[in-house]
Structure 1
Amino acid sequence: MDRRHSMYQWLRDNPFKVDTVVMIGLLLLLGPVYLVAGRPELFLLSCSLVVPLAWRRTRPVEAAAVMTVICLIQWALGIEPVAGQIAVPLIIYAVSAYGPAWASKSVLILGMVGGIMLTTRTFSGSAETGVLGLTIGSLYTVLIWMLVLFSWTLGDLTRVRRLQLQALQDRARRLEIEHRQERSLAAADERSHIAREMHDIVAHSLSVIITQADGGRYAAAVEPAAATKALETIAATGRTSLAEMRRLLGVLRSDDAATTRPLPGLNDLDELFLGMRAAGLPLQFSLRGQARRPLPAGAELTAYRFFQEGLTNVLKHAGPDARAEASMTWSAKGLELEIHDDGRGAGADPPQSPGNGLRGMGERVALYDGTLAAGPASGGGFTVSALIPYTEA
């Protein structure tokens, strides 16, 4: 089956070679007859009609033009039809199948007119006259027309099939390109999602660990119990982060062993706040209003990551003895989130390079048609607020 397909593919990809072989075969079949009969002029005429068939698919218009000129010369000189005349219906088929539309219509008209011209010349010098001669001539013309119409119709059907196959191939190629683009976009979106999750987990956990490690180092000499508590917090934070990292990386696994632990949501905020307080951040939280409708799991994850990233930034950048206030308000528009601290603000201790925290928070909120605002507070400190509407619920 593969060999047959390869042979068919080669025949389709090499039309000139195939047509040249067919042309040579016709020459060998038709030419020697006239040489044996001692009619070299008819041999040359027959060969001149057959030779253009080598270009019937690669240059169908030029081949048809050459053959038309030869037929007109033959008609003008009154030379009788030869065996090479079989090339005429073949070239009509080729132009109809592989030539432009105007050439296809032209060869059809020329074939019809040529049938009348041939009949007229053939029966003008014939002994048959009157009604009988007219009847025979008309029948001869009709037969030629049927041959021309058959060749042209077969070529036109071949053209339609070829165009349909080409359209299907183009459509398959476009679908393949679109599929590759969709896979690339999906992969980029997944990479962005994983990057946000990795940042939220690693930045929060490392900030808590660094803060506790610094505090424990200074407290070890004065208050060993505080150092022990700091080490316990570091261990607990490390275990939680390790579990979160395994859960996140488990999504990338293709086997059934990947964990299906649910993503954190609003119900996990208490645990998050306890961890922040244990890390040494004085924190007050207030909840106002009630939800008009539940938010999807993705929106709850966005709210959780908002508080996680915002409080981590307070822990990292607000300075010593900074206090934080977090609030969550259910309004008519959606869920309003806010974090305010009384620390050093955005002007102190600027980062060496742009961070991904606020940008990641903005991307998460934007996924649910929300808005994010961040900047120094009027009375000092820094404020980050976000609104997650009900549109995705």
Structure 2
Amino acid sequence: MSKRPQTAYDRGLMSAVGPPSRLPGEMSVFEVRDRAWLFDFCLAAVVGLAVVGLAGHDVDTALASSVLAASLLFRRSHPSVALALGIVGSLALLGVADTPQPAIVVVPILVYSVARWSDGRHGLIALVAALFGAVLGPLRWTGQSLDAGSFVPFAITLVACAAIVAGAYLLGSRLREARQRQRERQEEAIRERKLVESEQQQRAQVATISERNRIARELHDIVAHSLSVIVVQAEGGRALSAKRPEAAPDVFGTIAETSRQALAETRHIVGLLRGEAGRSDPTAYAPTPGLEDLASLVHRTSETYEYSSFGAPPPVSQALGLSSYRIVQESLTNVLKHAGPGACARVTVAYTADAIELEINDDGVGAAATPGPAGHGQEGMRERVALHGGWIAAGPRVGGGYQVRAWLPLDPAPAARPVQPFPMRT
């Protein structure tokens, strides 16, 4: 199909909108990706034209000079190929010409290039070959036999050629070593950055796991205690409704209050997980339970439970106050679950100069309690106490019942700790 001739309309349109744009990554005929290769091509062309032109009508000299100049085309991309072409061209030039030729300027350039852009072994080969040529060249140019008249020019030429190629080798090798050191520094920086990123990821994972465990402990303590209170109150309310119907509203009020509180705390924790705390719930920033809430916790759990404290509550951190509250809460939950019907509990809190001592006793079945499914209550209490550098012990009492004792230091690293009275029950 013949191409439609360009009209005046087409020319006007092209002048208005400009030439068509190229796709990303597309190259025009005037763009070259590797500018270093373009420089080497131009260098080889200029040197080749110059040495061939200066060779005159000597075809053999022009051919050997062109081979030597062509080695510059591969000095960066393939240094070993450039070295081979340089050796072949130099030997050919020595064989066909008995006078110095302009093409020998390629030799130091080639030695520098191989020493810089190749490994150390090829650089040494180029240096040795160039030094060998620095001896053969003056011998060829001054004659095969050295006499008193030709020795001085031979020595001067030899020293000059050797110094030029040695200087080119040293310059190229120094630049190659500098580039290698820079690459090693970059690789070391990359390794260090990856190591830092790996450590940050590990710390983030540890922090995430720790936060999940903390939230799991909070949910366990809230749900387990609240449901245990609700179950006990519901069973008591069912029995009480037949004997004393007038007391049933109090029982159901306790159930409702416990349920509302558990629901509010659960919503608060879920809101923290979702990042929604404080957006719609004005009570989201309410303080967490602490030492001042222990009495209400005991009385809310059961009217038959007793609470007593000794000493003035010291100012403690939010974490220490919450841990004390959760330990008492979990202990009362275990009383509701395992102590048996009608069991009473007594909570005693002592505030000393350096610690908070908690003691929860009940008069239930104690060691005769039916073992239930394995839970995480006592494990959670141990973890809470360990966070503050204290200890906790729990087990059946000698006279019956069960006892939990915890010691939480006000100083996370006290000088001396009291001895545990008995080991934890697993």
Normalised TM-score (structure 1): 0.77
Paired residue type of 1:387: W
Shift in Å at residue 388 of structure 1?
1.1
| 2:228 pairs with 1:207 | yes
Task: State how far apart, in whole Å, the 2-side matches of 1:330 and 1:364 are.
Answer: 18
Identify the match of residue 275 of structure 1 among 300, 319, 326: 300
| 2:116 pairs with 1:93 | yes
Shift in Å at residue 82 of structure 1?
6.6
Paired residue type of 1:231: F
**Residue 387 of structure 2: aligned partner:** 367
**Residue 13 of structure 1: aligned partner:** none
**Residue 288 of structure 1: aligned partner:** 310
Task: State how far apart, in whole Å, the 1-side matches of 2:277 and 2:271 are.
Answer: 10
Identify the match of residue 132 of structure 2 among 113, 117, 138: 117
Residues 65 and 89, structure 2, Cα contact 8 Å, conserved in 1: no
Residues 50 and 84, structure 1, Cα contact 8 Å, conserved in 2: no
Shift in Å at residue 215 of structure 1?
1.3
Paired residue type of 1:90: S
Gaps of 5+ in 1: 1-5, 8-16, 57-62
Identify the match of residue 318 of structure 2 among 271, 274, 297: 297
Greater Rg over alpha carbons, structure: 2
| 2:288 pairs with 1:266 | no
**Residue 374 of structure 2: aligned partner:** 354
Shift in Å at residue 317 of structure 1?
1.3
Identify the match of residue 183 of structure 2 among 162, 169, 175: 162
Paired residue type of 2:307: F
Kindly tell me: are residues 370 and 177 of structure 1, through their superposed partners in 2, closer, same or farther at Cα, counting changes over 3 Å?
A: same
Q: Alignment partner of 1:214: what SS?
A: helix
Q: How many residues align?
A: 359
1:1-393 paired onto structure 2 within 5 Å: 29=45, 38-39=59-60, 54=77, 63=80, 67=83, 71=87, 79=95, 85=107, 86-95=109-118, 99=119, 103=120, 113-127=128-142, 129=150, 131=152, 133-254=154-275, 257=278, 259-278=284-303, 282-289=304-311, 294-331=315-352, 334-351=355-372, 353-392=373-412
Residues 114 and 126, structure 2, Cα contact 8 Å, conserved in 1: no
Normalised TM-score (structure 2): 0.71
Residues 372 and 384, structure 1, Cα contact 8 Å, conserved in 2: yes
Deviations 1:310-367 (A, max 9, x none): 011101211111111211223465222111111012442211x211111111111111
Residues 112 and 168, structure 2, Cα contact 8 Å, conserved in 1: yes
Residues 138 and 154, structure 2, Cα contact 8 Å, conserved in 1: yes
Shift in Å at residue 234 of structure 1?
0.8
Shift in Å at residue 78 of structure 1?
5.1
Q: Aligned Cα RMSD in Å?
A: 3.8
Q: Alignment partner of 1:373: what SS?
A: strand
Q: Which moved more, 1:192-201 or 1:177-186?
A: 177-186
Which structure is higher in helix share? 1
Deviations 1:37-71 (A, max 9, x none): 75467767777897696555xxxxxx49x948984
Task: State how far apart, in whole Å, the 1-side matches of 2:58 and 2:404 are.
Answer: 105
Identity, in percent, stands at 33
Relative contact order higher in (CA < 8 Å, ≥ 6 apart): 1
Kindly tell me: are residues 239 and 255 of structure 1, through their superposed partners in 2, closer, same or farther at Cα, counting changes over 3 Å?
A: closer
Shift in Å at residue 266 of structure 1?
0.3
Task: State how far apart, in whole Å, the 1-side matches of 2:207 and 2:235 are.
Answer: 41
Residues 296 and 392, structure 1, Cα contact 8 Å, conserved in 2: no
Kindly tell me: are residues 94 and 28 of structure 1, through their superposed partners in 2, closer, same or farther at Cα, counting changes over 3 Å?
A: closer
Kindly tell me: are residues 90 and 108 of structure 1, through their superposed partners in 2, closer, same or farther at Cα, counting changes over 3 Å?
A: closer
Task: State how far apart, in whole Å, the 2-side matches of 1:74 and 1:122 are.
Answer: 9
Task: State how far apart, in whole Å, the 2-side matches of 1:363 and 1:52 are.
Answer: 69
Q: Alignment partner of 2:411: what SS?
A: helix
